[in-house]
Amino acid sequence: MKRFISMFMQDLILANRNGLILVTGILLIAMLALVLFLPKQLKIHNEMILDLSQGTILATYLNNQGVGEDVVFIEEQEFNQKLEKQPNKVGVIFSGDLENPVFAFLINSQIPMENINLLKASLDRAILDLRGESTATIPVRFLRGVMQTPPLNLKIIPIALVFEVVLLGFFFVSVMMFQEKQEATLRAYRVTPGGAWNYILSKNLLFIVLSIAYGLPLLLVGFGLSINYGLILLLVVMTASMMTLISLFIAVFFRNLSEWFFVGVAVLVINSLPSISYGIPSFSPAWMSWIPSYPAVFAVRDVLFNAATWVDVLPTIVLLLVLNGIGFLLAYLAIQRKLLKEG
Amino acid sequence: MLAVKNLSHDYEGKGNYAVRNVSFSIPEGTIFGFLGPSGAGKSTVQNILIGLLPLQQGEVTYTGKSIRDQDAKFFNQLGVSFEHPNVYGRLTGYENLKYFAGLFDVPTLDPLKLLEAVNLTEAAHRKASAYSKGMRQRLVFARSLINNPKMLFLDEPTSGLDPNTAAIIKEIILQKKKDGCTIFLTTHSMATADDLCDTVAFLNEGKMVAMDSPRNLKLAYGERSVRVEYGDNGRVLEQVFFLDKAEDHRLFTDLVQSQRIQTIHTQEATLEQIFMRLTGRGLA
């Protein structure tokens, strides 16, 4: 234990003097600022509608549906002025009445016809509603339980927990090993009773501690005490640990950062791909789910926003445990048989 | 005691041996000097002895136990000072020693006292990256002593040091010997080997060519010679005469009788001269 503590303290000092703790702190402050100051919802409308009908029935209807006054107009002059300033928007002028509705579209830039047609369909639906001829509600079946749309400012937290701090850990653990290779301090380490086991665990613990130090303030500011911290931190720790072990394994086979760069960045990019699926859930090709960070980010999301329990995320925990085991074995073999023999 | 018997090592496994049939033993509490030019195989032998290279052929035993059977605790008894000063540049001298002290299972020495012993007290809390090469060399030397080892491997411990500091390091080495530490010293410096070693071994092209105490080697392989300065038409000339050679003996006798001699010194052969005589090459 004395040996492990000595190694951990040394790694902690080196991480500090390499700027890792500073960078993590800056990143944390930036993320906290986003959580605190980003709006909970961001509504972006690509259309502006002018209602010239008698009694402005469409404008009233849309306002009642929650559409803002920056989208719906009843004054033609104001509408024209605003549209002129925002040429990328689609202008829609409604005239006539409910029986004979007339829509005119004003398009200044290239807008896909698909978008125009979807807008037309929405307007037709509004007219049918106003006539009282609305069709039956389209049935919706939720495959993973009904989940409320997360507030925008909190939606970024799973990304920060699963991808950002892991990215830092993955990068910096390699940097630390390359420094040791360059300084040949590994030769000195090799003629001590230190061994591969302590070497791996010390660096792994360092990045686990950093991931908690980064994640915990974010969670506290974003969610207070309303979430299952044990479960969420377990997921974060296992994800950080897995990536540190993979990073240690890969770095053994390279002499310096320049040689490592392309392979390291490729691994990081692949690991980050599931963030696309997180942002656009309908984009989830089968191969994407094979990337370990995919189940991790969705498990974190489910715990944070869907009150998922231990049982719900157990498959992900088991998967991460297995991947940590494989990662440790690979890192141990590479360090014991290669790094500490040639170091 | 460290015993090495018929040690051979072939890096590529193609019959090109870096060292071949090297045998020696180092009694406890003595200093063994390993001398040879670059590429002679000194580092290969040392790396096998400290476990950085696997033992392929031959046998290495520490107090009767084969190096093959040693576990991680074996390193508790070992101190290694590398030729290239490999320290953590971002840690201070004190932190470097404190870190390594924490890796051993045996009682360790006080890092500050060790730094004081090698004249690094003032630089103890400066980052090692700001040290000169000589300072880093001293730090590496101090690190090799941190676990109070029973077996010390020193690779060029006085390289790049000024004479005063080199004298301090030599004094510490001799003190460790008095304390019972067994020391394996690799060096190019014949003066260092002469000053410190009980036994020296010459290694050339992977093979041992001679091994004995420096005095015995000088007696066995050295030539009696005198260096003479004499006047010649207002100039001062210098010449070395090997007295065992008849021609040199006659010229020297003539010079003595001419009464032109200004200074005269007897000379013994240096270890380097002996190495050159044995191998036909220098140590550099």
DSSP-derived letter for residue A155 is: H
Q: Which residues of A touch B95 (CB under 8 A)?
A: 10, 13
Q: Which residues pair with B60 in a beta bridge?
A: B4
* Rounded-to-integer distance, Cα B273 and Cα A97, Å: 116
Q: Which residues of B touch A191 (CB under 8 A)?
A: 50-52, 75, 78, 80
A3 touches chain B (CB under 8 A): yes
Q: Which residues of A touch B140 (CB under 8 A)?
A: 188
Three-class SS of residue B9? Answer: strand
Q: Which residues of A touch B89 (CB under 8 A)?
A: 183
Query: Residue B261 burial by CB count (10 A; 0-12/13-18/19+): exposed, middle or buried?
Result: middle
Tell me, which fold does domain B2-219 have in CATH? Rossmann fold (3.40.50)
* Rounded-to-integer distance, Cα A154 and Cα A340, Å: 44
Mutation for testing the B interface, residue in A20, A181, A192, A198 having most B CBs under 10 Å: A192
CA distance readout (Å), B56 to A62, B10, B230: 85, 8, 58
* Rounded-to-integer distance, Cα A295 and Cα A290, Å: 8
Residue A245: the pLDDT is: 93
Three-class SS of residue B132? Answer: coil
At A236, list the tokens. 């974060």
Using beta carbons and an 8 Å cutoff, which residues of B are at the interface with A?
A: 50-52, 72-73, 75-76, 78, 80, 82, 84, 86-91, 95, 98-105, 140, 143
* Rounded-to-integer distance, Cα A105 and Cα A126, Å: 16
A95 touches chain B (CB under 8 A): no
**Residue B90 and residue A190: Cβ atoms within 8 Å?**
no
Cα diameter, chain B: 73
Residue ranges, chain B, pLDDT below 70: 222-223, 280-284
Q: How far is CA B33 from the centre of its chain?
A: 5
CA distance readout (Å), A338 to A174, A202, A330: 15, 19, 11
Phi and psi at A54, nearest 5°, equal: -65, 125
Cα of A173 to nearest chain B Cα, Å = 16
Contacts of A46 (CB under 8 A, 6+ apart): A88, A89, A90, A111, A115
Task: Find out whether A115 and A88 touch, Cβ atoms under 8 Å.
Answer: no
Measure CB to CB from residue A195 to each of B72, B101, B140 and give the nearest one.
Answer: B72
**Residue B99 and residue A7: Cβ atoms within 8 Å?**
yes
Determine the residue of chain A that is closest to B73 in CA distance. Answer: A193
* Rounded-to-integer distance, Cα A222 and Cα A157, Å: 8
Mutation for testing the A interface, residue in B47, B53, B86, B125 having most A CBs under 10 Å: B86
CA distance readout (Å), A151 to A34, A64, A131, A225: 12, 23, 34, 17
* Rounded-to-integer distance, Cα B109 and Cα B172, Å: 14
Q: Which residues of B touch A9 (CB under 8 A)?
A: 99, 102
Q: pLDDT tens digits, residue range A42-79?
A: 666 778 888 888 888 888 888 888 777 788 888 888 88
Nearest-Å Rg of the Cα atoms of chain A is 27
Phi and psi at B268, nearest 5°, equal: -105, 160
A18 touches chain B (CB under 8 A): yes
Task: Find out whether B91 and A9 touch, Cβ atoms under 8 Å.
Answer: no
Query: Where does chain A show beta strands of DSSP type E?
Result: 47-51, 72-73, 90-96, 101-107
Q: Which residues pair with B4 in a beta bridge?
A: B24, B60
Q: Which residues of A touch B102 (CB under 8 A)?
A: 2-3, 5-7, 9-10
A337 touches chain B (CB under 8 A): no
Q: Which residue in this structure is represented by tokens 């360092």?
A: A206
At A37, list the tokens. 């100051």
A192 touches chain B (CB under 8 A): yes
* Rounded-to-integer distance, Cα B206 and Cα B9, Å: 9
Q: Of A203, A201, A197, which is closest to residue A178 (Cα–Cα)?
A: A203
- pLDDT by 10s per residue, chain A, length 343: 888 888 888 888 988 888 888 988 998 899 899 888 877 776 667 788 888 888 888 888 888 887 777 888 888 888 888 888 887 888 888 888 888 888 888 887 677 778 788 888 888 888 888 887 766 566 777 666 666 677 888 888 898 888 887 788 888 899 999 999 988 898 899 999 988 999 999 999 999 999 999 999 999 998 888 889 999 999 999 999 999 999 999 999 998 888 898 998 898 899 888 888 888 877 778 888 888 888 888 899 888 888 888 888 899 999 999 999 999 999 999 998 888 876 4
Residue B284: the pLDDT is: 58
**Residue B90 and residue A189: Cβ atoms within 8 Å?**
no
Residue A343: the pLDDT is: 46
At A254, list the tokens. 């390279």
Q: Which residues of B touch A192 (CB under 8 A)?
A: 75, 100, 103-104
**Residue A3 and residue B102: Cβ atoms within 8 Å?**
yes
Contacts of B121 (CB under 8 A, 6+ apart): B112, B115
Q: Angle, to 10 degrees, between the axis of helix A165-183 and the axis of helix A195-223?
A: 150
**Residue B86 and residue A187: Cβ atoms within 8 Å?**
yes
Complex confidence, ipTM: 0.83
At A136, list the tokens. 């039956």
At A277, list the tokens. 């699926």
Measure CB to CB from residue A191 to each of B51, B88, B105 and give the nearest one.
Answer: B51
**Residue B52 and residue A191: Cβ atoms within 8 Å?**
yes
A184 touches chain B (CB under 8 A): yes
Task: Find out whether A65 and A90 touch, Cβ atoms under 8 Å.
Answer: no
Cα of A6 to nearest chain B Cα, Å = 5
Q: Which residues pair with B200 in a beta bridge?
A: B33, B212
Q: pLDDT tens digits, residue range A200-233?
A: 999 999 999 999 999 999 999 988 888 899 999 9
Residue B116: the pLDDT is: 93
Cα of B92 to nearest chain A Cα, Å = 11
Task: Find out whether B37 and B204 touch, Cβ atoms under 8 Å.
Answer: yes
A2 touches chain B (CB under 8 A): yes
Residue A149: the pLDDT is: 75
**Residue A7 and residue B82: Cβ atoms within 8 Å?**
no
Measure CB to CB from residue A17 to each of B90, B101, B143 and give the nearest one.
Answer: B90
**Residue A183 and residue B100: Cβ atoms within 8 Å?**
no
**Residue A191 and residue B99: Cβ atoms within 8 Å?**
no
